[in-house]
Chains A and B, each alone.
Chain A
Amino acid sequence: MKLFKRHNNVLPGFGITLGFTIFYLSVIVLIPLSALVFRTMGLTWGEFISTVTAPRVMASYKVTFGAALIAALINAVFGVLVAWVLVRYKFPGRKIVDALVDLPFALPTAVAGITLATIYSSNGWVGRYLEPLGIKIAFTPLGITLAMTFIGLPFVVRTVQPVIEEIEVELEEAAVCLGANRWQTLTRVIFPMLFPSILTGFALSFARGVGEYGSIIFIAGNMPMVSEITPLLIITKLEQFDYRGATAIACVMLLISFLMLLVVNLLQKWSRRYAD
């Protein structure tokens, strides 16, 4: 027990709480997740590669990652704008708007899915005005991007917002004193300070979009090779009792989400490099 030196800590319950934490974490998260990895290892390398690089699977990666990338970019731009407006400007209803930003976290994905599909279908509230312009959103890859933008929206706002709140007035005053105009202050002083948090929010939004299922399937159209996302393909394989295929593709997705998690952690470390 030398490893767990208690540093003169008199508080009780360390052993039992840490023990329970690790036990519960293992039973609910670690062992089930490792099942996925072990089941994939039951496949030969050749089987694995041919499964995860089959044309239909490759097409689904392209749709999923492409749409998630565009959605995360849209969120990066508008998320920063929303965060800036919420922190810096006063306008009526600001508190309500601020609370509403978290709606995509609180609204069940299936509800978001059927609602977006209804609004953007050809006779929906928005779709009917886009149809004559030749823009079709529902049942196309564009709909996938739209749904991913919706569910990823709070991530950029919520990571950038606290950083804007903490910017010290003195920095902006110093910039003005040194002769910078407002545009220069914004682009050369404030933007570099926000950049790590924007990247973090972008990565979080992207990761959420890649894994998302519920809000997308209703609006996507789900045509193989065209508008079929990877999570749906996993479910399709499961329903056809193709457990090996489903497992292999899921393993690739899991690997990518771990990679994203690592990137986010590194980004957060980088953004705090001046803090300590």
Chain B
Amino acid sequence: MSAHVSTITTSVKSKDRAQNEPAVVRWLLIAVALIFLALFLALPLAAVFSQAFEKGLSVYLDALREADTMSSIKLTLITAAFCVPLNLFFGVTAAWAIAKFTFPGKNLLITLIDLPFSVSPVISGLIYVLIFGLQGWIGPWLQDHDIKIVFAVPGIILATIFVTFPFVARELIPLMEAQGREEEEAALVLGATGLQTFLRVTLPNVKWGIIYGVILCNARAMGEFGAVSVVSGHIRGMTNTVPLHVEILYNEYNYTAAFAVASLLAFLALITLVVKTIAEWKVRQQLENH
């Protein structure tokens, strides 16, 4: 027994020596890392809320109650209501095809799905102007039929779909690949239909992965600025999303109102981080149990 204990202590000691820097170095590194993060992450976050409440709660609430703010919130919610379900449906479909089957060109397909992440947001907006704008491919036809896409709500939705395109798919593909096909095959052998198999076997297995993808997709859909800025036309109360409204208020030197509206987005970001952390933890747990 005592011999056993002493082996453990030696192994802990040697692990300590092999894996750890001296305490002074350790605390120094922690301090430098934390100062860096405090300066770059915590400070901006604190500044948003501090600026928003600088003139008190009533000014803050008035800024949020303003008609243009309300309409920008409405437009942002509408945009997310289109983008998130569409990209969720696409993500699940793509992950099923890519993760559960083998076919040539699979890696190319994955790279193409990731493409919107490497395109500048400004270009993401520009491409829709080039197609639907007045000088665009089908712009003149659209004008003849009195259909507005760019500088109107449909353009904002399209550009947002583009920038949030990969979120769900890129989260689900590796997760579904890691889980393999055995469970689905067993369900089919036991007589389940394809849809039953998907709903009762696959879906519960990837539930947290879907939540992870959806929350990130939603955060970006509600917060996108560059792409939406190009296609919006900036019509107050009509084609202004919340981030665009923040820009307008800021450029009018209405800082308190700008930060009040921005604080809504910062709050959304915090919720996103919390849900994301939980989902990440659950996914890890599920993979380990698998």
Determine the distance from Cα of A88 to Cα of B30 in the docked complex, in whole angstroms.
10
17 A-B residue pairs with CB within 8 Å:
A4-B104, A11-B188, A17-B93, A82-B33, A89-B30, A108-B224, A111-B223, A114-B250, A169-B15, A173-B15, A176-B17, A214-B121, A214-B229, A218-B247, A231-B122, A238-B129, A261-B115
Q: Is the CB of B123 within 8 A of A253?
A: yes
Give the complex CA separation of A39 and B126 in angstroms: 11
Q: For residue A111, which residues in chain B have a CB less than 8 angstroms away from its CB?
A: 48, 223, 243, 246, 262, 265-266, 269
Which of A25-33, A43-51, A54-62, A192-200 interfaces with chain B?
A25-33
Residues 49-89 of chain B: 1 if any A CB is under 8 Å from the residue's CB, otherwise 0? 00100000000000000000000000000000000000000
User: Hey, which chain A residues are within 8 Å of B101, CB to CB?
Assistant: 6, 9, 11, 14, 18
| CA A235 to CA B232, docked complex, whole Å | 12
A126 — which chain B residues lie within 8 A by C-beta? 39, 43
Interface flags, B35-47, vs A, CB<8A=1, else 0 = 0110111111101
The interface on chain B, measured as residues whose beta carbon lies within 8 A of the other chain's beta carbons, has a size of: 101
Residue from A18, A107, A115, A125 within 8 A of B223 (CB atoms): A107
Across the interface, B33 reaches (CB within 8 A) one of A9, A81, A257, namely: A81
Decide if A69 is an interface residue (CB 8 Å cutoff).
no
Expressed in whole angstroms, the Cα–Cα distance for A231 and B161 within the complex equals 20
Q: Given A111-B48, A114-B258, do A89 and B26 touch, yes or no (CB 8 Å)?
A: yes
Closest Cβ–Cβ distance, residue A61 to chain B (whole Å): 13
Given A182-B21, A257-B120, do A12 and B194 touch, yes or no (CB 8 Å)?
yes
Q: Is the CB of A11 within 8 A of B184?
A: yes
Q: Which residues of A contact B223 (CB under 8 A)?
A: 106-111
Contact A110 B126 (CB under 8 A): no
Task: Contact check, A110 vs B188: say whether CB atoms are below 8 A apart.
Answer: no
Cross-chain contact A118 with B185 (CB below 8 angstroms): no
With contacts defined as CB atoms under 8 Å apart, how many contacts are there between chain A and chain B in the complex?
286
Given A9-B101, A10-B185, A172-B18, the answer on whether A106 and B222 have CB atoms closer than 8 Å is no
Q: B269 contacts A36, CB within 8 Å?
A: no
> Which chain B residues (71-125) contact chain A, with CB distance < 8 Å?
90, 93-94, 96-98, 100-104, 109, 111-116, 118-123
- Cβ of B34 < 8 Å from any Cβ of A? yes
Q: Is there an interface contact between A211 and B122, defined as CB atoms closer than 8 Å?
A: yes
Q: Which residue of A lies closest to B48 (CB)?
A: A115
CB <8 Å contact, A250 and B272: no
Give the size of the chain A interface in residues (CB under 8 angstroms). Answer: 93
Told that A21-B93, A100-B37, A108-B219 touch, could you supply 5 new A-B pairs with CB distance under 8 A? A36-B123, A112-B44, A114-B246, A211-B121, A214-B229
Task: Report how far A25 CA is from B91 CA in the complex, Å.
Answer: 11
In the complex, are the beta carbons of A30 and B112 less than 8 A apart? yes
> What residues make up the interface of B, taking CB atoms closer than 8 Å to A?
14-15, 17-22, 26, 29-30, 32-34, 36-37, 39-45, 47-48, 51, 90, 93-94, 96-98, 100-104, 109, 111-116, 118-123, 126-131, 133, 135-137, 158, 161-162, 165, 181, 184-185, 188-189, 194, 197-198, 216, 219, 222-226, 229-230, 242-244, 246-247, 250, 255, 258-259, 262, 265-266, 268-270, 272-274, 276-277
Write the nearest CB–CB distance from A179 to chain B, whole angstroms. 12
Lowest 10 A-B CB distances belong to which pairs?
Answer: A108-B223, A211-B120, A214-B225, A12-B194, A213-B226, A17-B97, A106-B269, A32-B127, A231-B122, A18-B97
Which listed residue (A36, A112, A119) contacts B126, Cβ 8 A? A36
A82 touches B37 (CB 8 A): yes
Say yes or no: is A116 at the interface (Cβ < 8 Å to chain B): yes
A70 CB within 8 Å of chain B: no
The reply to whether A108 and B33 contact each other, CB–CB distance below 8 Å, is no
| A35 surroundings in chain B (CB, below 8 A) | 127, 130-131, 136-137
Contact B41 A214 (CB under 8 A): no
Interchain nearest-CB distance for A222 vs B (Å): 12
A33 and B194 contact, CB distance less than 8 A = no
Within 8 Å by CB of B118, from A150, A232, A261, lies A261
List A contacts of B273 (CB < 8 A).
Answer: 99-100, 102-103, 106
Instruction: For A21, give the chain B residue with the smallest CB separation.
Output: B94
- Contact between chains at A11 and B135 (CB < 8 Å): no
On whether the beta carbons of B226 and A231 are closer than 8 Å, the reply is yes
Assuming the contacts A18-B103, A33-B127, asked whether A109 and B137 have C-beta atoms less than 8 A apart, the reply is no
